[in-house]
Amino acid sequence: MILAIDVGNTLTKFGLHDGEGWTLVERCPTPLVIEDVSRSPLSAFAGQAQVVVGCSVVPEAAKALESHVPVRWLTAQNVGIPIRYGPPWSVGADRLANALALRELARPAIALDIGSATTFDVVDRDGAFAGGAILPGPALWLKSLAQGTAQLPEGAMDQPASALGASTLHGLQSGLYFGMLGALERLAAELSDELQQGETRQTTLLAITGGYARLIESALDESDVLRSHAVAVQSVPHLTLDGLLCFDRLGF
C-alpha cells in the first residue's frame, strides 16, 4: 500500500493506493497538520502504508509530517523530467506532480488545478514541464473583494442562475463565476495554440482538478471556445496524487 500526501496552502490531501486504485482519500486543513499532525488522517493512514511519498508547498506542514513518518518528497531535483522553467527550484512541487500525471495521459497536455491558487501546468510534446500560468483561486477572488471594500460581503462560491446579478451577493457570484470562466477559457485556448504552433494540429488535453474544480468543469467541458481551439476537457479528481504515484513507480 502506498500513501501519497499532497500538502497545499489550504488543504492537505491523503490518499491510499493498493496498486489498482485509490482505496481511501481524505482531506484536512493544512493548519491542522502544522498545529497537531496527530489529529490529521495521517494517524489512520500511515500504519497501512509501506511507502509514503509527498509533495508540499508549505514547509512547516512537511516538517510536521516528517516528524511522524519518513516521507519521500518530490522536488525539482528528483522529479526526473526536463523542466523548461526558470529557476527550476521555484516550481511548486504540486505542479511537478501534475506534470508527471499528465505525461501518462497525453502529450501535449495542460493541467488546470483550481485551488487556493489556480494554476495551468503544461507538458509539451517531449514530456517536459514547460511552465504555464498562475492566477488567484475562487476563494481568494472573493476574499480580496470583501477585504478591499467597505460594503461588499464575502459571498458564497456558487454557480449563479444568470449573469445579471439582481442583488449584491448574486452580482458577486456572477462576477466570480463568469469572470473566472472567461479567464480560464482564454488561457486554456492560448496555451493550446502555443503548444500546437508549428506542429500538425492535434487535440490538447485539459485535465481539470483541484478543490474548486466542481464549480467550473462542466462549463469548460461544454465550451465552444475550447472546442474551437481543439481543447478536450477531462476531469481528473486525484491528478496530483496520481502524479505522486508515478513519482514512486519511476523511482527518480
pLDDT at 151 over 70: no
SS3 209: strand
What pLDDT sits at residue 92?
94
The fourth-level CATH superfamily of domain 88-237 is: ATPase, nucleotide binding domain (3.30.420.40)
- Name the pLDDT band for 171 (thresholds 50, 70, 90): confident
Contact 185, 231 (CB under 8 A): no
pTM for the model: 0.91
| All cell numbers assigned to 14 | 491523503
β-sheet bridge partners, residue 112 = 120, 208
Cis peptide leading into residue 108 (ω within 30°): yes
Query: Do 2-73 and 88-237 come out as alike in CATH topology?
Result: yes
What are the two backbone dihedrals, phi and then psi, of residue 118, each rounded to the nearest 5 degrees?
-105, 125
The 10s digit of each residue's pLDDT in 200-234 is 778 999 999 998 999 899 999 999 999 999 999 99
pLDDT band at 150 (very low <50, low <70, confident <90, very high): low
Q: pLDDT tens across 80-128, in order?
A: 999 999 899 999 999 999 999 999 999 999 999 999 899 999 999 999 9
At residue 153, the 3 state secondary structure works out as coil
Reply yes or no on whether the pLDDT at 27 is more than 70: yes
Fold topology of 2-73: Nucleotidyltransferase; domain 5 (3.30.420)
- pLDDT, residue 234, reads 97
Quick one: pLDDT at residue 145? Answer: 80
Across the chain, how many H-helices and E-strands are there? 9, 10
* Cβ proximity of 74 and 93 under 8 Å: yes
Q: Which residues pair with 131 in a beta bridge?
A: 122
Radius of gyration over every alpha carbon of the chain, rounded to an integer in angstroms: 19
Domain spans, the chain: 2-73, 88-237
Cβ atoms of residues 233 and 213 within 8 Å: no
Give catalytic residues, as residue numbers.
94
